[in-house]
Amino acid sequence: MQKFSLDARVREHMQRAAGTASGRSAQTVYGGHEHVLRQTLVALEAGESLTEHENPGEATLLVLRGRVRLQCAEASWDGVAGDMIIVPPARHSLEALERSAILLTVATHPVNSASVQPA
């Protein structure tokens, strides 16, 4: 079992984001491409964004600090610290309305080898 302080990592990445030209910092805190579940801590300076992108699987966004806006073609959702937003299964973007940190949780759909047809 592993244990770490998410709060300490939030502080660290918010400092890193403030010191970068992009105004953001991110780290996968659990999982990765070899896992079905991946959790990524993302810190963004006010006004910075993650431009429109595809949803790689089922996903949620937990706002740890600040205020963010998740937007897709049909709607937008604002979140503040403590809010969890279900990421829509569509192209979307994320904007930091103020200095923010989020925990993005993604569960990708594994390739089912039984459904792959031989060539």
Contact assessment for residue 81 and residue 63, using Cβ atoms and an 8 Å cutoff: yes
Q: What is the dihedral of CA 43, 44, 49, 54, to 10 degrees?
A: 0
Structure tokens at 28: 């996968």
Q: What is the dihedral of CA 22, 93, 100, 16, to 10 degrees?
A: -30
pLDDT of residue 113: 44
Structure tokens at 74: 């049909």
Reading the chain (119 residues) residue by residue, the pLDDT tens digits are 889 999 999 999 999 999 999 999 999 999 977 888 999 999 999 999 998 888 878 999 999 999 999 999 889 999 999 999 999 988 999 999 999 999 999 998 765 544 444 44
Domains of the chain: 6-109 (2.60.120.10)
pLDDT of residue 116: 45
pLDDT of residue 29: 94
Picking from 85, 58, 77, 79, the residue whose alpha carbon sits closest to that of residue 67 is 79
Contact assessment for residue 55 and residue 104, using Cβ atoms and an 8 Å cutoff: no
